[in-house]
A and B are shown apart, each in its own frame.
Chain A
C-alpha cells in the first residue's frame, strides 16, 4: 500500500502543493491531473523518492520510503519524462541495460519479445539515434512488459509521442496490471480510457497556492 501523508512541495519560491494526503491500495489506479507547472512531475518524483518533499512523507507497506531505499526501489518502476534511452546503444542493448539496472534478470529472447510487443521487431538492432521520438519512447516502455511482477508502476506522461495504436496498447497494459492487483500512478493530459475498477484522480490545478 502506498501512502502519502501531508505532502508539501516547494520549488524555488513557489509552493506547488501542500497538505496532500492519499493512500492507494493494491488494484488501484491513481491519475494525477493538472495544468502545466502544477507539480505533477514533482509529485511523481516525490513518490518514487527522487525528490524529498518539503514536508510530509511517503510510506510503502507502512515504511518510510526514505529508509526503505533499495527495498522500495526493487518493487517499483518509474518512467520519467526523459526516456533514458542511450543514442549510442541499440534498442535491444538499451532494454537489456535498463532491466539489469532495475535488477531484472532477463535473456535476449524475453527482451526481443517485449520489443516485438511494442512493434519494434525490425528496429531491435538499430542504434537508438536513428529511431523516432515515438520509437524511443516505446523502447523505454517495453520494460513495463518485463516488469509485470512489480507491485507499483509510476509513469510520467506515458502516452506522449505515441500513436493511437500504441496508446491503446499501453492502456490495456496498464488496465491488465491494475487488474493483477498492482498499483499504478500516472500523469496524463489525454483522457485515458483505462478500464480499472478503482480510479482515483487528483487534480493539482485547484491546489496551486
Chain B
C-alpha cells in the first residue's frame, strides 16, 4: 500500500519536473496577481498592510485552482485512471498520493514565496510567519476540496468553469479563516484559535475527502 503511495507521488513529481512550464504558470500567476495590487493601489502603507492577507490568500486560492483541472484529466485521457481504479491498492490511498503530489507541486511553492511577496505590502516581520503558517495549513485543504470537484467534473465539456463554480464556494470558509488569522494577529491578539480552526479544517478534509474523491472518480470513469 505504501509502495503504491510512494510510487504515485514519485511519478507525479517526475511528470511535473519534466513539464516545468505547467508548474511555473501557476506560480507566476500568483506572483503577478499579488504584485499588481501595490502597483495599482499606490503607495499608501496602511491600506496595503490592511489588504495584504486577503490579497495574498485570494491569489493563492485562484492559483491553486489553475492546476486543478489537470489533476485527473490526463490520467483519465490516457487510461492510467482505469488502471488505478482496478489496482490492488484501495483507491483512497492512490487519491491521497495524487492530492499530496498536487500540493507539493502547486501549493508548497506558493507558501514558500508568499512571505517574499508580502514584503511589497510592508507587512510586519512577525506577521510574515503567521501568513506562511496559515497558508501552510490552508493550501492542502484547497487541494483536497479541489480534488473532489476535479473528480466530479472529469470528462465533462466545459468542466473548467463548472469546477470553479463548484469549488470556489467551498473555499470560502478556508479563505475567511486563513486571511483572518493574519488580521487578528496584526490587531495584536493571539491567532492561536484561528490556527486551531485551520488545523481542524485540514484534519476533517484529509479524513473525508479521499473517500469523496474516490467515489466521484468511480462515477466519472463509468
Stretch from B45-53, B77-85, B126-134, B193-201 contacting the other chain: B77-85
Within the complex, which residue of B11, B85, B221 is in contact with A89, where a contact is CB–CB below 8 Å? B11
Q: Are B3 and A73 in contact (CB under 8 A)?
A: no
Smallest beta-carbon distance A82→chain B, Å:
3
A199 at the interface (CB under 8 A from B): no
Q: Are A51 and B222 in contact (CB under 8 A)?
A: yes
Smallest beta-carbon distance A83→chain B, Å:
6
CA distance A85 to B19 in the complex (A): 16
Smallest beta-carbon distance B105→chain A, Å:
13
Instruction: Indicate whether A78 sits within 8 Å of B7 (C-beta atoms), given known contacts A50-B221, A89-B15.
Output: no
Chain B 176-222 interface residues, beta-carbon cutoff 8 Å to A: 221-222
| Chain A 91-121 interface 0/1 with B at a Cβ cutoff of 8 Å (1 = within) | 0010011101111010000000000000000
Q: Are A70 and B7 in contact (CB under 8 A)?
A: no
Main secondary structure on chain A at its contact with chain B? loop
Q: Are B4 and A82 in contact (CB under 8 A)?
A: no
B173 at the interface (CB under 8 A from A): no
B18 at the interface (CB under 8 A from A): yes
**B7 surroundings in chain A (CB, below 8 A):** 96-97, 100-101
Q: Are B80 and A74 in contact (CB under 8 A)?
A: no
Residues of A within 8 A of B (CB): 48-52, 70, 73-74, 76, 78, 80-89, 93, 96-98, 100-103, 105, 127
Residues of B within 8 A of A (CB): 3-4, 7-8, 11, 14-15, 18-19, 74, 77-80, 82-90, 94, 221-222
